[in-house]
A and B are shown apart, each in its own frame.
Chain A
Amino acid sequence: EPEVTQTPSHQVTQMGQEVILRCVPISNHLYFYWYRQILGQKVEFLVSFYNNEISEKSEIFDDQFSVERPDGSNFTLKIRSTKLEDSAMYFCASKREGGDRYTEAFFGQGTRLTVV
């Protein structure tokens, strides 16, 4: 079964440092997303990306965050200057384009980001 892969599985970084979380979505998918989940809390939407641009972003996704699809396969989330409260599990997801209404979102295994 095709899957979304994320690297690294765990990243520890010092406050103020930049981090890049990487994702390889499923190859024929066209919609890409980042979500995060702080320990013990809800899964929260960060950003959606389609046709090489951001489609929607939440209030969490401020100027410290950016996304990029640098080539045909990778989808990255960059946090420019990490804060302690950025510690969370970050999930990448992808979705096949519609045509078929029942297009589920496939999530990766996540990257656990710990800011110290």
Chain B
Amino acid sequence: LAKTTQPISMDSYEGQEVNITCSHNNIATNDYITWYQQFPSQGPRFIIQGYKTKVTNEVASLFIPADRKSSTLSLPRVSLSDTAVYYCLVGDINRGSTLGRLYFGRGTQLTVWP
């Protein structure tokens, strides 16, 4: 499994765009990149997933360069309620013998200030 590295913590202010970068130098050809969000005392929640280039949904964008050795989660105009831990996961999470086992690292604690 490709190891992921992301900042331990980030701070931002309301209304700003936040970019959280994750490095995954050993990503394999079949690996997808997935981001989850976790609020205190709640289960992780899927945010976005991608394989290459750019993916956008109603809450975030995911930028993946051509070499796929890193990815950046972009949260536009954050609010106080975006304060959470954000996890970058890499792996063939949909197929294969692990049948979707997820490997969570430490994640990035994002704190949004008023």
Real complex partners, A and B? Answer: yes
Which residue numbers of A lie inside 8 Å of B, CB to CB? 4, 31, 33, 35, 42-45, 48, 50, 55-56, 89, 91, 93, 95, 98, 101-110, 112
Interface size on B, residues (CB 8 A): 24
Interface set, chain B 27-68, CB cutoff 8 A to A = 32, 34, 38, 41-46, 49
Q: B interface, by DSSP: helix, strand, loop or mixed? A: loop
| Residues of chain B within 8 A of A4, CB atoms compared | 43
Question: Do A43 and B32 form a contact, CB below 8 Å, given A106-B46, A107-B45?
Answer: no
The 6 closest A-B pairs by CB, nearest first: A107-B43, A104-B46, A43-B104, A91-B43, A55-B99, A101-B94
Inter-subunit contact B100/A31 (CB<8 Å): yes
B95 near A: Cβ within 8 Å? yes
Q: A interface, by DSSP: helix, strand, loop or mixed? A: strand
Distance between A78 CB and nearest chain B CB, rounded to angstroms: 20
Q: Closest residue of chain A to B49, judged by CB? A: A102
Q: Assuming A48-B99, A89-B41, what are 4 further A-B pairs, CB within 8 angstroms?
A: A4-B43, A48-B101, A107-B43, A107-B44
Question: Do A56 and B43 form a contact, CB below 8 Å, given A42-B106, A101-B94?
Answer: no
